[in-house]
């Protein structure tokens, strides 16, 4: 049995389409089910539905052999215990700093709102900029508007969320896409099976380029 951890985010449709090409189809509609473990039609794969931020943890501890999640989540989690063999080239967006449109960053220590505390700290440390990062779990765009932070660090796709809240993107921190991650022990114990799956997924990814 292979266990694959993924989440019900906006990339679910694309993830399922890639998995289908690799012969893995869930036995029920993942976007609708309240179940957390859904077997595949062929019965030899279990799909585990968890929060995107929990995917690296499940895979790292071997609760799942394989995970599919964003590079943002993986970089923030920052584990040496995961193989990351494949860029799935879906869920593409950018991790950026953003500010209220027309406003300039104040001099001195900045207050930054983000759910990416570690990535924000690393980014500003490299620039030699002192920051206090305020951890939020969502609706980051609100923080500068209500005076909680000077700027935010968040994902930008179309830019519509920023625009709708009177904000604009500032600097690119990193390009993001969904990645396949593998538990190191599983890679050894289920080598042939996992190697085959990576190969099939790579073909599916290449076919879409
Ligand atoms: C993400 C991100 C932004 C938005 C950006 O949130 O946090 O708010 O998408 O997309 P856009 O540039 O196309 O407007 P998401 O909707 O995934 O929800 P989340 O806050 O729960 O992560």
Q: How far is the CA of 155 from the centre of ligand 1 (A)?
A: 6
Q: Which fold has domain 93-175?
A: D-Maltodextrin-Binding Protein; domain 2 (3.40.190)
Q: Is the CB of 128 under 6 A from ligand 1?
A: no
- The 10s digit of each residue's pLDDT in 167-185 is 999 999 999 999 999 999 9
The pLDDT value recorded for residue 208 is 92
Query: What is the reported pTM?
Result: 0.95
Q: How far is the CA of 161 from the centre of ligand 1 (A)?
A: 7
Residue nearest to atom 3 of ligand 1 (CA): 155
Atom of ligand 1 nearest to the CA of 141: 8
Q: Which fold has domain 2-91+177-208?
A: D-Maltodextrin-Binding Protein; domain 2 (3.40.190)
Domains of the chain: which residue ranges? 2-91+177-208, 93-175
Pair of tokens at residue 107: 């001099």
Range 36-48 average pLDDT: 97
Q: What is the DSSP letter of 40?
A: B
Ranges assigned E (strand) in 71-141: 82-87, 93-100, 110-114, 131-135
Q: Is the CB of 154 under 6 A from ligand 1?
A: yes
Pair of tokens at residue 161: 């969320």
The pLDDT value recorded for residue 20 is 97
- The 10s digit of each residue's pLDDT in 104-148 is 999 999 999 999 999 999 999 999 999 999 999 999 999 999 999
* Residue in the structure block whose two tokens are 């090409």: 21
């Amino acid at each position: 049995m292979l266990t694959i951890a993924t989440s019900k985010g906006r990339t679910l449709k694309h993830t399922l389409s890639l998995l289908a090409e690799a012969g893995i189809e869930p036995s029920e509609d993942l976007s609708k089910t309240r179940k957390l473990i859904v077997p595949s039609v062929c019965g030899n794969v279990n799909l585990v539905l968890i929060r995107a931020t929990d995917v690296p943890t499940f895979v790292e501890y071997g609760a799942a052999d394989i995970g599919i999640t964003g590079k943002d989540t993986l970089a923030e989690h920052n584990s040496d215990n995961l193989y990351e063999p494949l860029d799935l080239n879906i869920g593409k967006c950018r991790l950026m700093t953003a500010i209220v449109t027309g406003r300039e960053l104040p001099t001195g220590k900045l207050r930054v709102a983000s759910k990416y505390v570690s990535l924000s700290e690393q980014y500003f440390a490299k620039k030699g900029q002192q920051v206090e990062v305020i951890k939020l779990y969502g609706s980051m765009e609100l923080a500068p508007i209500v005076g909680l932070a000077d700027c935010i660090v968040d994902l930008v796709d179309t830019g519509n969320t920023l625009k709708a809240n009177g904000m604009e993107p500032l600097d690119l921190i990193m390009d993001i896409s969904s990645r396949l991650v593998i538990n190191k022990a599983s890679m050894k114990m289920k080598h042939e099976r996992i190697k085959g799956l990576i190969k099939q997924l790579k073909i599916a990814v290449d076919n879409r380029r």
